[in-house]
Chains A and B, each alone.
Chain A
Amino acid sequence: NAGVMQNPRHLVRRRGQEARLRCSPMKGHSHVYWYRQLPEEGLKFMVYLQKENIIDESGMPKERFSAEFPKEGPSILRIQQVVRGDSAAYFCASSRQGVDAGELFFGEGSRLTVL
């Protein structure tokens, strides 16, 4: 049973370009969370999605960031017009029933570098 798969693992973008990060949850998991980790810092919650629904996007910047989890296919975190401050590791986590029912399984992250 494959774990949470994230791609790309590393992404380099120039300022103003778009970054798309993909996350395939573990088989049977319908809850997806995105977290951002800045160097030497903890993980900051961004967004919580279930299939075709955004449940909580309170940690998402209001502009340039969007996320989706379609009925078919991976969850996508999209960052438009990237700036240097967007450079970070972005982690996706999935669970079968949400946090209250057990652990979150994390992917290995996508490391975005903005030049």
Chain B
Amino acid sequence: QQQVKQSPQSLIVQKGGISIINCAYENTAFDYFPWYQQFPGKGPALLIAIRPDVSEKKEGRFTISFNKSAKQFSLHIMDSQPGDSATYFCAASRTAGTASKLTFGTGTRLQVTL
């Protein structure tokens, strides 16, 4: 019940296009859903996060859509740029209690072409 499934594994998008990455989770106790961005040779960095009391959160060109009944959430990158080329990880956690930890998806390698 700790799995987070992420798709696609890799994605190629033209500059200016929309990149969409999807995640699904099993554990209904999860209540915090962040997305992390990782460049080669670097550690992951938080991009945007959502809690299940809202269905959408937007920060600049990045939007999370959340569907609680379907246990799915997705990252949309509008007007994708070559600088967005990176690996993106969704994650989830159950924040109640004292031992909360993030469970990560397997990652999506995004390449934005000119």
Contact = CB atoms under 8 A, between A and B. Distances in A.
Q: Do A and B bind each other?
A: yes
A6 B104 CA distance: 21
A55 B44 contact: no
A104 B98 contact: no
Given A41-B106, A104-B46, A99 B100 contact: yes
What secondary structure prevails in chain B residues at the interface with A? Answer: loop
Which A-B residue pairs are the 9 nearest by beta carbons? A100-B95, A106-B43, A103-B46, A99-B100, A42-B106, A56-B99, A42-B104, A43-B104, A108-B43
A100 B94 CA distance: 8
Given A98-B98, A100-B96, 4 more contacts: A41-B107, A43-B44, A99-B93, A103-B49
Interface in B28-79: 32, 34, 36, 41-46, 49
Interface in A19-76: 33, 35, 41-45, 48, 55-56
B32 to A, nearest CB: 7
B26 to A, nearest CB: 15
